[in-house]
């Protein structure tokens, strides 16, 4: 179900029910960009990985949130799904005016997947973090207390006195002699409108009510309405306050859903979900902490049970059969023996079925994630000689290897495959990695040749003359610096030594991202 600010209020209770009824929740999100500045290095430790993402992604926006809830149908003995595809956009007023980053390639990609940017910007649901909500709530309460905020009363500059006076005379005439209930004042710039608000409010407080109004042609005018009786003014003031609170609730918007997910304490799954989790926390809960351990605690506190299907698919017995864990490839693999995808149907209009093919719609990707998840867990259950049914209880040993681990895509193929939210992370040694400087003319083959006596190497270029080089024969790696100590063409520094002095700030590209 597509959810925008047009239907958000009606849909919210449905979402609540879906979450409540669910055994697990699958999520997927879309962003305005992936990476600004330095990319993650293949050899980053989990805290370095986090620090890099934090610096490089926090300014992008989360623009679509897919939620697919899976609940057990006891009669049919199968899982059913409800799916929601939320367009989210932080419009200003009464929320804060937001500055954010976009990456042209990311927007390009979303456009190629038919992402609807007009819907996003026109109809996206607003949101804010908890601290912002608290602050704005306080400010609005304050503002409503002292109605006519005197601090802002501006003396009319001499050059505008005539214009303002003329308009006041027209209003006087309108009140005294005209039959209409309303008049419009047009052709005033923002400053004059501001002055008029103030002057008309002062001079005709009990006689007229002044509002700013947008015309069909998008011009702003002031609408002046006659006050009929004593209550009229008061009613309008009360009405205005209520409207302001309603607008405030609209501005909190999608954050409610994110917090419902958190409060449910249910299992939340995603595919390669580190960025989804980071953006979700950062946009709907609190700005992300710079301290890595605080991040782990914060995440675990907000989402006590997280499972990353990309990580799950990278472990045995799945890993042998999964050549590529790209989500659609994974689904294809899950559709073949020894795996099999469950039905995962839905009530009409409430979710997806496999016949839908809405790749890269966040809700659909969340659905596919859930389907792959069920296929994998069913496979595990079958391998134990049991019959797949409803999910095993979340405390069961079967979950242990996957639970609360976030996949680290870029370092997974080295030896730092995950962040462990509830225990110590892998602490890969980097004894086999070196920072190497070489002549500009050198090609990859020159490097390979140089080190060929030491077995196969992995090269991550930093620029024309430097690279990180990892030796797969770790036993031989120790000897490398000594072996080339006399070689004036190359300088070899152990990874750890290299890392200490430099706060890594080089921008580099993993070459094969181009393909």
Ligand X SMILES: Nc1nc2c(ncn2[C@@H]2O[C@H](COP(=O)(O)OP(=O)(O)O)[C@@H](O)[C@H]2O)c(=O)[nH]1
Kindly state the smallest distance separating residue 42's Cβ from ligand X, in Å.
6
Residues at the interface with ligand X (CB under 6 A): 42, 157, 160, 189-191, 324-326, 409-410, 413
Kindly state the smallest distance separating residue 462's Cβ from ligand X, in Å.
15
Partner in contact with 410, chosen from a copy of itself, ligand X, none, beta carbon below 5 to 8 Å by kind: ligand X
Partner in contact with 212, chosen from ligand X, a copy of itself, none, beta carbon below 5 to 8 Å by kind: a copy of itself
**Residue with smaller CB distance to ligand X, 234 or 510:** 510
Q: Which residue is nearest to ligand X (CB)?
A: 189
Kindly state the smallest distance separating residue 304's Cβ from a copy of itself, in Å.
31
Kindly state the smallest distance separating residue 323's Cβ from a copy of itself, in Å.
6
Partner in contact with 42, chosen from a copy of itself, ligand X, none, beta carbon below 5 to 8 Å by kind: ligand X
CB proximity list for 484: less than 8 A, separation 6 or greater: 450, 490, 492
Tell how strand 2-3 and strand 267-270 pair up.
Answer: unpaired
**Residue with smaller CB distance to ligand X, 255 or 460:** 460
Partner in contact with 121, chosen from a copy of itself, ligand X, none, beta carbon below 5 to 8 Å by kind: a copy of itself
Kindly state the smallest distance separating residue 463's Cβ from ligand X, in Å.
19
Partner in contact with 298, chosen from a copy of itself, ligand X, none, beta carbon below 5 to 8 Å by kind: none
Question: 3-state DSSP call for residue 447?
Answer: helix
Residue among 95, 91, 83, 179 at smallest CA distance from 129: 95
**Residue with smaller CB distance to ligand X, 485 or 514:** 514
- Other Cβ atoms less than 10 A from the Cβ of 253: the count is 25
**Residue with smaller CB distance to ligand X, 324 or 353:** 324
Partner in contact with 100, chosen from ligand X, a copy of itself, none, beta carbon below 5 to 8 Å by kind: a copy of itself
Judging by beta carbons within 10 Å of its beta carbon (0-12, 13-18, 19+), is residue 124 exposed, middle or buried?
buried
Write out the DSSP string of 6-41. Answer: TTHHHHHHHHHHHHHH-SEEEEEEEES-S--SSPPP
Partner in contact with 152, chosen from ligand X, a copy of itself, none, beta carbon below 5 to 8 Å by kind: a copy of itself
Kindly state the smallest distance separating residue 314's Cβ from ligand X, in Å.
8
Mind spelling out the 3-state secondary structure of 337-379? CCCCCCCCECCCCCCCCCCCCCCCCHHHHHHHHHHHHHHHHHH
Kindly state the smallest distance separating residue 3's Cβ from ligand X, in Å.
28
- Other Cβ atoms less than 10 A from the Cβ of 205: the count is 13
**Residue with smaller CB distance to a copy of itself, 24 or 451:** 451
**Residue with smaller CB distance to ligand X, 214 or 397:** 214
Q: Phi, psi at residue 209, to the nearest 5°?
A: -125, 130
**Residue with smaller CB distance to a copy of itself, 102 or 168:** 102
Q: Note whether 251 and 92 are within 8 A (CB).
A: no
Q: Note whether 350 and 22 are within 8 A (CB).
A: no
Residue among 490, 496, 486 at smallest CA distance from 432: 496
Q: Note whether 60 and 39 are within 8 A (CB).
A: no
Q: Note whether 458 and 467 are within 8 A (CB).
A: no
């Amino acid at each position: 179900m597509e959810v925008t600010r047009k239907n958000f209020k009606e849909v919210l209770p449905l979402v609540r029910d879906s979450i409540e009824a669910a055994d697990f929740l699958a999520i997927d999100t879309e962003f305005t960009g992936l990476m600004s500045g330095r990319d993650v290095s293949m050899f980053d430790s989990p805290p370095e990985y986090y620090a890099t993402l934090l610096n490089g992604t926090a300014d992008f926006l989360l623009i679509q949130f897919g939620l697919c809830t899976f609940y057990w149908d006891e009669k049919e003995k199968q899982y059913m799904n409800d799916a929601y595809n939320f367009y989210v956009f932080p419009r200003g007023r009464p929320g804060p005016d937001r500055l954010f980053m976009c990456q042209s390639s990311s927007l390009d990609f979303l456009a190629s997947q038919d992402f609807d940017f007009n819907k996003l910007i026109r109809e996206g649901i607003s949101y804010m973090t908890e601290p912002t909500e608290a602050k704005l709530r306080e400010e609005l309460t304050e503002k409503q207390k002292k109605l006519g905020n005197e601090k802002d009363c501006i003396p009319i500059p001499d050059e505008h006195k005539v214009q303002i006076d003329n308009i006041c005379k027209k209003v006087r005439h309108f009140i005294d002699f005209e039959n209409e209930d309303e008049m419009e004042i047009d052709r005033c710039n923002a400053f004059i409108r501001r002055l008029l608000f103030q002057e008309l409010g002062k001079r005709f407080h009990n006689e007229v009510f002044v509002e700013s109004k947008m015309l069909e042609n998008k011009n702003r005018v002031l609408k002046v309405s006659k006050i009929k009786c004593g209550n009229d003014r008061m009613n309008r003031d009360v009405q205005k306050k209520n409207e302001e609170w309603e607008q405030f609730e609209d501005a909190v918007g999608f954050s409610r859903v994110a917090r419902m997910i958190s409060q449910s304490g249910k299992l939340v799954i995603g595919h390669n979900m580190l960025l989804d989790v980071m953006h979700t926390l950062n946009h709907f809960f609190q700005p992300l902490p710079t301290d890595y351990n605080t991040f782990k605690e914060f995440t675990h506190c907000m989402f006590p049970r997280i499972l990353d299907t990309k990580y799950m698919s990278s472990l045995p017995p799945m890993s042998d059969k999964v050549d590529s864990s790209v989500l659609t490839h994974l689904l294809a693999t899950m559709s073949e023996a020894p795996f099999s995808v469950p039905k995962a149907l839905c009530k009409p209009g409430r979710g997806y079925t496999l016949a839908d093919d809405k790749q890269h719609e966040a809700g659909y990707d969340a659905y596919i994630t859930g389907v792959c998840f069920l296929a994998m867990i069913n496979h595990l259950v079958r391998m134990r000689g049991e019959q797949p049914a409803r999910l095993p209880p979340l405390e069961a040993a079967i979950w242990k290897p996957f639970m609360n681990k976030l996949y680290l895509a870029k370092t997974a193929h080295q030896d730092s495959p995950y962040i462990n939210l509830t225990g110590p992370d892998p602490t890969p040694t980097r004894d086999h990695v070196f920072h190497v400087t070489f002549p500009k003319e050198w090609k990859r083959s020159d490097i390979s040749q140089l080190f060929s006596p030491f077995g196969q190497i992995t090269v991550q270029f930093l620029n024309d003359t430097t690279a990180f080089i990892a030796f797969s024969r770790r036993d031989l790696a120790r000897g490398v610096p000594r072996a080339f100590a006399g070689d004036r063409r190359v300088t070899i520094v152990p990874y750890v030594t290299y890392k200490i002095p430099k706060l890594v700030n080089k921008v580099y590209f993993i070459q094969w991202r181009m393909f």
